[in-house]
Amino acid sequence: MNTPIVSSINLRLYLHRSSSLPLGWIEFQHPLFKGQTYYYHPGLRIVTESDIESPIVLDILRSALAILEGRLIERNITLPQSSEGSFEIDVSQHPPLVKYYFVDHSTRTEFWLEPTDPMTSKDRWGN
């Protein structure tokens, strides 16, 4: 039996709706990290702490998703249904920096589309 990562009781307490959120996105306040805001898109199965209410951030995220989708198609890769992507958009960099990783919840593993060694990387983003 799979145990949920986050208790549904906590989610009900910290779920927020915003009229300025793009279609399909849900805003949450993390119960353990001082109310850190994060966003989840269940249809795309992605999560981000980046402010997707900013049109610039949302455009960069959409572009990154299109590039990744192209790489998946070109490499004939199908992501497992039990996987989700996590994305970080840093608009203070020029050009903006997009970091990502995927998590397969059924195997409890992180993975990237490019060869990455998390043991030698500085952070979980593979950098």
- Residue 8: its pLDDT value, please? 38
Q: Which two tokens stand for residue 4?
A: 């949920």
H helices of the chain, in order, are 8-14, 55-74
- Residue 101: its pLDDT value, please? 92
- Residue 31: its pLDDT value, please? 77
- Residue 47: its pLDDT value, please? 95
Return the beta strands (E) in the chain as ranges.
Answer: 15-16, 26-29, 37-41, 46-48, 83-90, 97-104, 109-111
pLDDT per residue as tens, the chain (127 positions): 443 444 333 343 344 555 678 989 999 888 777 778 899 999 999 999 999 999 999 999 999 999 999 999 999 999 999 999 999 999 998 889 999 999 999 999 988 888 776 666 555 545 5
User: Which residues, including other chains, have CB under 8 Å from residue 124's CB and lie 6 or more apart?
Assistant: 101, 110, 118
Model-level pTM? 0.75
Looking at the DSSP bridge assignments, the partners of residue 103 are: 84, 110
Do residues 71 and 64 lie in contact, with contact meaning Cβ atoms separated by under 8 Å? no
Where do the structural domains in the chain lie, given as residue ranges? 8-111
Q: Nearest 5°: phi and psi at 67?
A: -65, -45
Q: What's 4's DSSP letter?
A: P
- Residue 11: its pLDDT value, please? 41
Do residues 91 and 57 lie in contact, with contact meaning Cβ atoms separated by under 8 Å? yes
